[in-house]
Amino acid sequence: MRDLEPLPALVDNYIWFADLGDDHYLVVDPGEVAPVEAALCGRPLASLTVLLTHHHRDHIGGAAALRERWGARVVAPVDPRIATATEDIDDGDRVELPGGHRAQVIAVPGHTASHVAYLVDDVLFCGDTLFSLGCGRLFEGTPAEMAASLSRLAALPPTTRVCCGHEYTLANARFARDIEPDNAVLAEHVAWATDRRTAGLPTLPSTIGLELAANPFLRCATAAVREAVADGGVPADLDPVEVFARLRARKDRFAG
Ligand code: ZN
Ligand code: FE
């Protein structure tokens, strides 16, 4: 997979775009069509494959136009709220892509009930489940479901590149630093991300290794994060799901 690129869309979404070779292209979560057509402009097109992670409008809004105008194949989880799919997939499925690539489907309920992530080679497309230094809001799932989903992603190799659905890194950083003010990896990454955003550049893709070291939502088993949410109780008494639930609830209230 070459030229992996986040196309800025809508307010703070990224549409992920990649070259699969021989004029075959991959697009993940096209919330609108214009950035994709701009990226395709001037390139011969043999095929376009669209992967959708979940039904929210800011992730699927451009899929129908890509299907109609460019004959795109549209791969999505089984969900009546996604009307544009040409192929339904589910947890554990492997989707053959052009160029000998394949997408491995990982069910990650929590943000929405039918949310999936796709692993293509060493690249994870995780929609609104895992963000850099944060995670998605729980609209349709329980903390236990989301914690389990994040655990599956956290178990991928540390070098896995993480392609999230939004540029939320600096907003998430304010909360992460409030939880772990002494985390040196986090502090260094926030400085890097601040420079990137000042220069108008994306902070993504991240990596699983970086997120394990700096993202509080992947660090619910650490002493530092447990203590931060203990509220005067005994940190050791909190299991990781309870730590996650408290952390997510606190982030929802965080004014930053
Ligand atoms: Zn969403
Ligand atoms: Fe979103």
Pick the ligand that lies closest to the CA of residue 111.
Answer: 1
Whole domain around residue 61: which residue ranges?
2-253
**pLDDT for residue 234 is more than 90:** no
Would you state the pLDDT for residue 207? Answer: 98
Chain segment 15-32, per-residue pLDDT in tens:
999 999 999 999 999 999
Would you state the pLDDT for residue 256? Answer: 64
CA 147 to centroid of ligand 2, rounded, Å? 19
Pick the ligand that lies closest to the CA of residue 54.
Answer: 1
Question: Which of 143-148's residues contact partners 24+ apart within 8 Å by CB, and which partners?
Answer: 143/241, 143/244, 143/245, 143/248, 144/241, 144/245, 145/109, 145/110, 146/109, 146/110, 146/111, 146/244, 146/248, 147/220, 147/240, 147/241, 147/244, 147/245
Of all residues in the chain, the percent with pLDDT exceeding 90 is 95
| Active-site amino acid positions | 54, 56, 58-59, 111, 128, 166
Q: Which of 52, 203, 31, 49 is nearest to 40 (CA)?
A: 49
Would you state the pLDDT for residue 235? Answer: 85
The residue whose two tokens read 């069509």 is 33
Give the whole-angstrom CA distance, residue 247 versus residue 141: 15
- Nearby residues for ligand 1 (ion, Cβ within 5 Å): 56, 128
CA 216 to centroid of ligand 2, rounded, Å? 20
The residue whose two tokens read 């655990």 is 151
Average pLDDT over residues 223-227: 95
Average pLDDT over residues 132-136: 98
**Helix, strand, or coil (residue 8):** strand
Would you state the pLDDT for residue 73? Answer: 98
Pick the ligand that lies closest to the CA of residue 108.
Answer: 1
CA 50 to centroid of ligand 1, rounded, Å? 17
CA 227 to centroid of ligand 2, rounded, Å? 30
Pick the ligand that lies closest to the CA of residue 137.
Answer: 1
Q: DSSP label at 238?
A: -
> Measured in whole angstroms, how far is the alpha carbon of residue 100 from the centre of its chain?
24
- Mark 91-123 as b/e (b = at least 16 C-beta within 10 Å): eebebebbeebebebbbbbbbbbbbbbbbbeeb
**pLDDT for residue 175 is more than 90:** yes
Q: DSSP label at 32?
A: S
CA 65 to centroid of ligand 2, rounded, Å? 19
CATH number for the domain spanning 38: value is 3.60.15.10
Provide the domain count of the chain. 1
Cβ proximity of 102 and 96 under 8 Å = yes
Average pLDDT over residues 145-159: 98
CA 165 to centroid of ligand 2, rounded, Å? 6
Would you state the pLDDT for residue 233? Answer: 86
Would you state the pLDDT for residue 204? Answer: 98
Chain segment 87-131, per-residue pLDDT in tens:
999 999 999 999 999 999 999 999 999 999 999 999 999 999 999
Would you state the pLDDT for residue 1? Answer: 87
CA 52 to centroid of ligand 1, rounded, Å? 11
**pLDDT for residue 58 is more than 80:** yes
**Helix, strand, or coil (residue 44):** coil
Letter for the amino acid at 195?
A: D
Give the whole-angstrom CA distance, residue 17 versus residue 127: 13
